[in-house]
Chains A and B, each alone.
Chain A
Amino acid sequence: MKIFNKYLVILLLTITFTSCEFDLLDSPNEVGPANANIDFLLANSYLTFNGLMTGVSNNTMGVTRLVTMQANVYTADNGPQSWDGVWSNAYAGLIPDLDLVVIKAKEAGITLPEGVAKVLKAYAMMTLVDIFGDIPYTEAFQGTSNFGPKADKGADIYLAADKLLDEARTILAAPTGTLINDLYYGGSAAKWLKLANTLKVRGLINQRLIKPVTQAQIDAIIGADGAKGIAVPADDFKFQYGSNREAPDARHPYYSDGYENGGPGWYQSNFMMWTMILGKGDIVDPRVRYYYYRQDCDEESEDAFTLPCIFQNAPNHFDGFPFCTASADKFGDPGKKFVGYWGRDHGDGSGIPPDGLKKTAFGVYPAGGKFDADNCAQVSNAGKDGLKGVGINPIMMSSWVKFMLAENTLGNGGDASVLLEAAVKESIKRVMDFGAADAGTSTLKPTQADVDAYVAKVKADYAASSDKMNVLITEYWLDCFGNGIEPYNFIRRTCKPAKLQPTLDVDPGPFPRSQFYPGSYVSRNQNASQKANQTTPVFWDNNPAGCVK
């Protein structure tokens, strides 16, 4: 047995020798959490926040008729899975980074990054409440120690967000430290403070139906002249895209989609285009050639395969609305003043014919594409056209703030005409200024007279209308092209615009007053259960059922 004793000794020795080489637990492919850097974390947060707001817009522009809703019925528009990206972007992508920024900033003894982080966190949480209603907050962000964070009341999250905004406002009024590569405001604490103030006002106005907001309350935050909030285009909170085509594709996603190959995937909203070209009689919206680019100006000679509806009759419930395209003479455009405004009707979920190189594309604003100078040519040219994708994601613009304030004024029984006029002018100027780089000297650019005529028409309509809110909100809606969440909110707040194009299906089910919870939340969180339907309003919406269709 001596031999075996030797064996055992040597065996044990072997084990000891090798055990000490076993330190292979840290990945050689990644760095440790201790390397986290405030500016790099914020850089990611800027991009993630833009991704979040883009995802929100993509899912809300259909239901609000800014683009075509390609689902026959409302329940099919945004299924639970279609919200997974937004949910993940906000909860796992954005907020843990922002929370770490706050910790790191405190360690470093500077406050400016903390202020920015709190503004973005508040904005993200309020946005999620606006979409879903009650969602996790106090039990969230705890990793595996809580697999199933329970939902808090939307109103409580609004309160928490308001508190975050107040903390941020205190910091941003007298910040320490600097920001490197601030993708929104170039490191200006003053502008971040304006955004924080504006968001506080926006939060109040969102709740105005359940808690009326006085002008004094607003003035206390942004000043009587509004100048402490986002008041001029220079203060606009928007994400500026670049022109790099690949690695990374830094262009506006609408541009990357439509201006590369095979044509755009998006269908433009026939109703929105029709509203711009024919909704005000002879007055054409000056922004239409900036928003839209027509690839094919002869939609009525298409075959039944490419554009089947051109051979069909409008359903009875479409009386008074465009059908098939915005400029088809049989329906929306009997005088045949316009051609080629080829989108889809609300709720047209039919299959995709070979119309990619023909249907109307996103134009120069906000996608960074082409100004429509009656070229009528396809835009899928490997990313060579127009502004090459140097577009913007409009998130909170100065004209929208004016519309919002106007809405509150009108809601309180006041006169909103001054704010309305200022907002419309500011909107048109912003769009035309942005598009000037591609519109150049085109003779088809709207003239000052065209703009003035449009503004005058809005003013006259407002003055004459018994439904002034409808006039106001319709203009607000036209201004929000490229952003879905503001229209989704104000449509639910005001039940306006009053006459939106119906769905092709006579019975599309109720308009979603809040959205289904994301699949990843419902299926992975034991304390979450899916809503029975989309009719439950969020906490600030007390409008009657069916006020929006």
Chain B
Amino acid sequence: MKQVLFSLFVLLGSISMTFGQMTVSGKVTDSAGEALIGANVTAKGAAGTGTITDIDGMYSLRVPAGTSTLVFSYTGYDTQEVAIGSSNVVNVTMAEGKVLEEIVVTGFGIKKEKKALGYAVTTISSADIELKPEADVTRVLRGKVPGVNINQTSGLAGSGTNIIIRGYSSISGSNQPLFVVDGVPFGSSTSPDRGALGGNAAASSRFLDIDPNNVAEVSVLKGLSATVLYGEAGRNGVILITTKSGTHNNKNDKMSVFVEQGIFVNQIASLPQDQDFYGNGFDNAASGAFSNWGADVRKPGFQGTNLAADGTIKHPYDRPAITAFLPQYIGARYAYKAYDNLQGFYQKGLISNTSVGASARVDKTSINFTFSHRDEEGFVPLSKLKRNNLSLGTNTTLSNGLTLTSTFNYVGIDKTAPPAGASTSSNPNDGASLFSNVLYVPRSVDLNGLAYELPNNTSIFYRGGNDIQHPLWTLNNTRDLEDVNRFFGTIGARYPVTDWLSLNYRLGVDTYSQKNSYQINRGGPQVPDGLMVTSNRTNTIMDHNLNAQFNRKLTENFNLDAVLGVNLRTDNLDRTFAASSNQFVYGLFAHNNFITHQNSSDKFEEKLLGAFATATLGYKSFLYLNLQGRNDWTSTLEKDNNSVFYPSASVSFVPTEAFTGLTNNKVLDYLKLRVGYGTSAGYPDPYRTRSVLSTSTRDFLTNSGTVINTNSVSNFFGNINLRPEIHKELEFGLDAKLFKNLIGLEVSVYNKKSTDLLVDLPLDPATGYTSTSINAANIKTNGIELGLTVNAIAKKDVNLSFNANFTTVDNIVEELVDGVDQISIFSIFTTLGSFAIAGQPYGVIQGTSAVRHENGQRLVSSQGLYASDNNLNLLGNPNENYTLNGGFNFNYKGFGLSALVTYQDGGAMFASLPSTLMGRGVLQETDFDRFVPVIAPGVKADGTPNNVQTSAINHYWQNGGVFIDEMRIYDATYWKLREVGVSYKLPSRLLEKTPFGSAVISLTGQNLWFKALGFPPGANFDPEVSATGVGNARGFELMNTPTSKTYGGTLRFTF
């Protein structure tokens, strides 16, 4: 395949054409003398004759003899007509026009004037991305792009990030966008080794490998009419990232160098406010309970509380299992009081970020180099992230016009995370966790002061049965390591056949190996014998793209801009797993130091071939019609179903250019109306169409030592009739600038229909199978995106602008295939998860409720308690009503100040942590007189209001939420001060005698303050977490890991 493409390239590259009779040349600059790249130069009266200026602002144009005038135009500048003098050299200085029109990067990296686009694209420049504490470029984009929901899984260094653009449109498929870095697809998946209960949220998303400080620009293509050229991979939107090393618009010939050093503090953002008067125990008596419903520390010696008059209790370590090793605890007493546990357990981690870069241009060759090193400590000592990024970009134009570009990037990541298994109120549900037992540690248990191990390295903690692992033991004996080595790069060639036709070929290679090692020493109750699980993934994407680009004025008024191309993408994933259990010698992590071993491996190969075309016909400079289409052939579907064509069409109309009368007022400066229709498809993962035989080895070992290996009919029913899922979207938009650029407004409204959705459908086992893949659902998505800018002050030295964006998405599951009532999107337990239910929003949470009386009220038992009904009931919609982001930028001379605030309205969340802290009597909200009985709201069996008293402890513990899912659902509405920045650019006169070209100091803080209105205030809960990791489920918090806040500063020098 490569050879075919290469020979095609050579063949076409050898074609050249010449025509014209006279050559005019010159340079186009702006008023400051800077070269303007890509300015249009046309010969007046000679249709089809034109060129654009090169990287130095130079042009050379053959014009028909007799041509007397050239027309120069450039977006954002006033068009000029200049007479050709006798010298055939015409240099022009362009004046800035009254409306700045933007150039944006669109599909396949093609730059277009924004006004020609019939769809929405949001572009974020490096200034908004660099010099931030975040390692993850997408987290920096939070709140800055309407229509895009970016949700971190946790505040752990290097943890995954969930990105959803314009709502969810697939049920079993991925809803994550395509990442394209420097023009080629970039593997961005999140590959956890464990499920949600085992702590998959700690797994990193592979876009973590991109250094935000090396990003020149990010364009977000949201609608299907924008992404159609990317084929099915683009159906969830495309995040186009141009790296600094992939950028080649150097303005000058000299070398430039920059150095940056950032230092930030990383600390836990959400520490609960605890009450200080009641300690560990239950029923108002001190004991080694999980809970904090114990004695009142203000009443030492009170009868029946086990609390002695001197304020002590029997030492929790005065028990035979411990005193056999540590006799000092025999008869020891322990001060029963509130200890400062959390403050001492968490730390302030340091983040250091160093970047150096150089770029140079010699003649028609430019080269960029950047290196960065990041060293991040988490808010627990166990969490660390190291990243090295090395990148090189070159660009050269040969004398025959052939331009060769290349980028080479290496990323090395070394991550250490704590185990972050989920918990619903106590010990981790599966495997190990650092966090599950920490936040509810009873107030009278000295987390940081109690010894954590016996001389034989066994964990000890306050519980008599030793059934809670000491968090400090976890810190010292567990590791979840990730080691990534990644190379990604491109080589590309562009040959201008004529000044209106060019041929382009680009090969992108992205390959990484990700090694994970999950290590637990023997000796803790969570995984008593120890464990070592390693996995090794090699993921490779090869992407060939060959296209011809056509851009020509057809007549005086019509311009055609077209691309025709073919794209071949191959994805390969190889995985190997080795799980060793039962550690032999404590402390050593090598597979050979474990007694039992289990290995497995698998591989996946997928090919996608696409042929595509796009054409934009422009009429004058105010009406643009764009038609696009792509046909894909996939290797994951049977031959009859593996080809799908998806078209798109859009129109952009700029009335303010069409009717000059419209702008002759003080209100309207610019108006664009657009409408776009786009389609896309989605393919299943490989190997879903054919049934297999399940085989398994070593299923059983008989008492006489015979190993039993087995065959079985697979529980997965291969569906040979599987078809691609289809997505269709209609989008309307409006861009306007008002009151002399005081106000800028962008609006997008869309309606998306996703049909034949691929579903991994759980089957009633009575069918003989438990699951199949099937086209089984339709989803309708409506959304509105608003962007507003107010340039309140725009003067030479003072600038103040406010910006706000608003997003609302309505994601409804319209219908499911006959015979299916609901589809599990994600299952936490069989009684708790996210579902697709016809007529309901995508991903509604279902779980258990309190048993209801037939009158609808909660039924209270004769003991004054609720009962769980054990059924799946609709508990809430995790999708927010809307999100509003607002901020400002203020600049005065070299001083800058900015802030960004987010408000999310609504969205239900199942949250373990606040409900556990409440149910276990830890939160400040539980600081009440605990001897006063409570009457639970509800009715008795006869329907009359409940009047049965129960103890406050029973009510909070049994009725309060740990046992009934319904009680753990909160409204996730929150306010958040997402980002605050201050920067100062040293005046150039201060730098005159230094080697520095510029010096900037910037201070940034992220996630400095938040307020979740629907949670108990004492929980100080940040709902911006996800226990289910990267995927399609939303709205679950399972005591995995809280969020972090970061603040610090960066110094940046250029030479």
Contacts and interface: CB of A to CB of B under 8 A. Distances in A.
Given A15-B633, A242-B703, A526-B819, A143 B767 contact: yes
Interface stretch (B262-270, B355-363, B686-694, B974-982): B686-694
Interface in A167-189: 181, 183
Nearest to A22: B635
Given A47-B710, A181-B706, A146 B767 contact: yes
Interface residues of A, number: 103
Interface stretch (B99-107, B152-160, B169-177, B712-720): B712-720
Contacts of B611: 11, 15
Contacts of B821: 523-524, 526
B289 A305 contact: yes
B566 A96 contact: no
Interface string B792-822: 0000000000000000000000000011111
Contacts of A24: 605-607, 635-636, 686
B700 A242 contact: yes
A36 B711 CA distance: 6
A463 interface: no
B609 interface: yes
Interface string A450-490: 00000000000000000000000000000000000000000
Interface in B693-726: 693-696, 698-703, 705-706, 708-715, 717, 719
A40 B765 contact: no
Q: Which of B11, B465, B818, B862 has the most CB of A within 10 A?
A: B465
B871 A41 contact: no
A151 to B, nearest CB: 9
Contact of A27 (B5, B568, B687): B687
B746 interface: no
A147 B581 contact: no
Contacts of A422: none
A309 interface: no
A417 interface: no
A40 B708 CA distance: 8
Contacts of B656: none
Interface string B416-435: 00000000000000000000
Contact of A79 (B5, B693, B870): B870
B525 A92 contact: no
B596 A247 contact: yes
Given A80-B870, A88-B765, A26 B690 contact: yes
A35 B525 CA distance: 43
B439 interface: no
A528 B764 contact: yes
B871 A506 contact: no
B768 A92 contact: yes
Nearest to A260: B528
Given A18-B568, A183-B702, A147 B820 contact: yes
A3 B528 contact: no
Interface in B844-884: 861-862, 867-868, 870-872
Contacts of A47: 699-700, 708, 710
Interface stretch (B83-91, B232-240, B749-757, B769-777): B769-777
A30 interface: yes
Interface string A236-258: 00001111111110100000000
A92 B769 contact: yes
Interface string B596-612: 11100011011101010
Interface stretch (A134-142, A275-283, A439-447): A134-142
A162 B283 CA distance: 57
Given A84-B830, A246-B582, A523-B821, A382 B529 contact: yes
Contact of B703 (A90, A246, A390): A390
B956 interface: no
Contacts of A7: 12, 548, 564
Interface stretch (A209-217, A352-360, A394-402): A352-360
A117 interface: no
B398 interface: no
B687 A304 contact: no
B191 interface: no
Given A25-B690, A354-B464, A526-B819, A519 B830 contact: yes
A149 B766 contact: yes
B467 A262 contact: yes
A521 interface: yes
A97 interface: yes
Contact of A354 (B463, B566, B695): B463
A305 B281 contact: yes
Contacts of B701: 242, 244, 248, 250
Question: From DSSP, what is the main secondary structure of chain A's interface residues?
Answer: loop
Given A354-B467, A523-B821, A525-B766, A29 B602 contact: yes
A44 B870 contact: no
What range describes how many residues of B lie at the interface? 35 or more
B870 A303 contact: no
Contacts of B831: 79, 81, 519
A140 B762 contact: no
Nearest to B282: A305
A84 B766 CA distance: 11
B297 interface: no
Contacts of B689: 25
A361 B545 CA distance: 67
Nearest to A524: B764
A148 interface: yes
Given A18-B1, A22-B635, A43-B699, A147 B763 contact: yes
Contacts of B642: 22
A240 B702 contact: yes
Contacts of A242: 700-703, 705
A351 B962 CA distance: 11
B4 interface: yes
Interface in A95-110: 95-97, 100
A303 B692 contact: no
Interface in A23-65: 23-37, 40-41, 43-44, 47-48
Nearest to A94: B712
A26 B687 contact: yes
B76 interface: no
Contacts of B767: 91-92, 140-144, 146-147, 149
Contacts of A34: 693
Contacts of A48: 712
Interface string A325-357: 000000000000000000000000001011111
Interface in B564-609: 564, 566, 568, 581-582, 595-598, 602-603, 605-607, 609
Contact of A41 (B463, B711, B768, B861): B711
Contacts of B595: 246
B700 A33 contact: no
B15 interface: yes
Given A305-B289, A355-B465, A521-B765, A35 B711 contact: yes
Contacts of A225: none
Contact of B465 (A40, A248, A356): A356
A21 B1 contact: yes
A382 B583 CA distance: 13
B288 interface: yes
A47 B699 CA distance: 8
Given A29-B687, A81-B870, A88-B715, 11 more contacts: A6-B12, A10-B8, A18-B568, A24-B635, A24-B686, A25-B636, A92-B715, A242-B700, A242-B703, A247-B698, A260-B528
Across the A-B interface, give the 3 residue pairs with the lowest CB-CB distance, nearest first: A79-B870, A354-B465, A44-B710
25 contacts: A4-B564, A6-B12, A10-B11, A15-B566, A15-B611, A40-B710, A87-B765, A91-B765, A91-B767, A92-B767, A93-B765, A136-B764, A143-B768, A144-B774, A149-B767, A240-B703, A242-B701, A242-B705, A303-B306, A305-B289, A354-B467, A382-B529, A390-B703, A519-B871, A523-B822
